[in-house]
Structure 1
């Protein structure tokens, strides 16, 4: 038995002892005073109310009824006046009933309310008469209705808060799943596209040009190793984010790629047979990590689509560092496409999601003069002002 549980039961026993003292040891006190004592004594049931609210309600109902029925009041007040004042002790029951309605199941709350009202009505009816019966009954009904309404409001607020928390958790899980899906798609799709092209080249020339086949196999090996390393870093990051790496396996995480790695990406794409012309304009400066990564992934996915679908040997990448936004454009002169590609994969969908998360815009579609164009505009944050000290 824990200390909290022991304290709760000790409070319940102390409450019953206080009720006994009010009924048996203070018979000369006015009824209103005894009712006030009963209201104060119900504070001893605080621990019991939190652990066993229905039992606490039964104890409060028993104690209040004992105060009303078992004491006779002062010699200076009539018996009817004494009972009128002691009816106030039922306010303690209404306090506990409100907590029961707020925390317990609906069926239990309904049963508790019905039993409480029935007991109070019987006791008030037995010790009141005439107009007093009507007034006391209405007051008891209003007090119980007020406590039940307060309990219902508290219950609705708790349920609403729980629903909001559950919705936030679900949205966070969905956003994280989409982020992981985009990262894995952008990471793997490009490498698999390069491997597919190199494997096709190697299979065609393995008999006639062994040297070219060897170059293709070496490119496949290098791309595969790089992809496996990236996947391993991603999985380690996910394990550490979920509570630490399993076992003792820990590896340093490489920095996320950015626009500074576009030339290396172009070199890998050139090995797959597509020459990439990279052009930069504007004032090149460090970018926020999320914008830098998103721009790199957009270029990577666009080049992957060129390698896999364009059927051309050349494309152009233009990166413009504007004052208010970063513009990225990938244009090829291949066979183009019949649509935006969303029905055939998740590449363009992922690019649009990346741009949208940064309040940017992405357009992708065939060009009138032929080929395909992917253009993204990502807003840049305002640069922080630098204080210049006057000479």
Structure 2
């Protein structure tokens, strides 16, 4: 037997090694930044490329430890900018030229503010974020006097730094709020899904157990009354009880087995009931002493699974209520395959079932219909008896 080799994902460095490399690069950043700033060649824009390239060394630590990374960036920014500005001031060929000090300072300010934004987006308006913002702004404001001359230039640089930090803070705060809102929405959706699943399970259990227990109760009562004088009828009642009980236990076993599966791709062990299974309901009701007349109208055709299951459960619950409460030997079911909707009507001539809407059965039928954008009504008939009427819209693609 050939066994295919198990696919292996890309190999990753151990956590300790990754942490070591991140710290090593970040610690080397201020040293290399100062060494690069000591170059006293003629200041040009090309000299800024090494400073920008060195920023890559801090990125791994920024992702893991943003606040220590910010401290290292600031620790390298101050001496590098001062050194660059001093080197430009000593150039004899361009007196009064400010050199690349202001460009380097701007580059370092943008890098520092990006780290502050990373902290603010992850922690919101906390003390850590405020500390990072104050440190970054204070460091770069203190550097302005080293690379700017004149009161106007000094003031404009300080305003640029303040506005840049404010824009960074605002953007990061919006990102943080959006992330929190998304988490809240996901949590609410998960809670709603859990509640919906619990209601679905409750409806399935109610429809399955209530129908079976009602039929078993009727058969047990028949057997008790006839066991002395008509043993054959008592035997038939016991056989019906046995069959119904086995079917119910099998259904419960399938349902519990499906619930134990954690893989959503695993299909349910118990297929969803369809309108084609109504004959089984008729047989069970007949064993319980209620004759069910079913009339199908329109062209019988397969419908979506959720529509078929809802229709079956509504008819099942209605017949169960007839068996348990109506005290009548007959009921009538009409299944109408209309062009735009599936209509279900269950009527009987019994004594009724009290105030409509009480109990879980009728509530469950209404919930099933509402989930499919339909409606279900249940109540006494004007001439006596009880009626359940449901209308379930059929999707356009299934018409």
Counterpart position of 1:248: none
Q: 1:148: Cα distance to partner?
A: 1.2
- Report the 3-state secondary structure (helix = DSSP H, G, I; strand = E; otherwise coil) of the residue aligned with 2:252: helix
- Report the 3-state secondary structure (helix = DSSP H, G, I; strand = E; otherwise coil) of the residue aligned with 2:196: helix
What CA distance in whole angstroms lies between the structure 2 residues aligned with 1:208 and 1:254? 41
What CA distance in whole angstroms lies between the structure 2 residues aligned with 1:138 and 1:255? 70
1:119 to 128, 132, 139: 139
TM-score for both structures, normalised by structure 2: 0.85
Counterpart position of 2:381: 367
Aligned pairs (5 A) from 1:306-317: 306-317=322-333
Aligned pairs (5 A) from 1:260-271: 260-271=276-287
More deviation, 174-183/360-369? 174-183
What CA distance in whole angstroms lies between the structure 2 residues aligned with 1:92 and 1:31? 21
What CA distance in whole angstroms lies between the structure 1 residues aligned with 2:34 and 2:253? 72
What CA distance in whole angstroms lies between the structure 2 residues aligned with 1:185 and 1:167? 27
What CA distance in whole angstroms lies between the structure 2 residues aligned with 1:34 and 1:104? 36
What CA distance in whole angstroms lies between the structure 2 residues aligned with 1:171 and 1:29? 67
What CA distance in whole angstroms lies between the structure 2 residues aligned with 1:260 and 1:382? 22
Counterpart position of 1:49: 62
What CA distance in whole angstroms lies between the structure 2 residues aligned with 1:325 and 1:7? 66
More deviation, 79-88/233-242? 79-88
Counterpart position of 1:61: 74
Counterpart position of 1:81: 98
Counterpart position of 2:297: 281
More deviation, 85-94/309-318? 85-94
Per-residue Cα deviation, 1:37-67 (whole angstroms, up to 9, x for no partner): 4344223211111111111111111121122
Whether the aligned pair in 1 keeps the contact of 2:295 and 2:335 (CA below 8 Å) is: yes
Change (3 A) 1:36 1:95: farther
More deviation, 149-158/1-10? 1-10
- Report the 3-state secondary structure (helix = DSSP H, G, I; strand = E; otherwise coil) of the residue aligned with 1:149: helix
Change (3 A) 1:147 1:77: farther
- Report the 3-state secondary structure (helix = DSSP H, G, I; strand = E; otherwise coil) of the residue aligned with 1:370: coil
Per-residue Cα deviation, 1:286-336 (whole angstroms, up to 9, x for no partner): 222221111111100111111112122211111111222211110011112
Q: 1:202: Cα distance to partner?
A: 2.8
Whether the aligned pair in 1 keeps the contact of 2:34 and 2:83 (CA below 8 Å) is: no
Residue segments in structure 2 that go unaligned for 5+ positions in a row = 1-13
More deviation, 269-278/201-210? 201-210
Aligned pairs (5 A) from 1:1-391: 1-2=14-15, 4-24=18-38, 26-28=39-41, 30=43, 37-71=50-84, 72-74=86-88, 75=91, 76-77=93-94, 81-82=98-99, 83-88=101-106, 89-104=108-123, 106-107=125-126, 108-124=128-144, 130-242=151-263, 253-341=269-357, 343=358, 345-382=359-396
Q: 1:132: Cα distance to partner?
A: 3.4
Q: 1:100: Cα distance to partner?
A: 1.3
- Report the 3-state secondary structure (helix = DSSP H, G, I; strand = E; otherwise coil) of the residue aligned with 2:392: strand
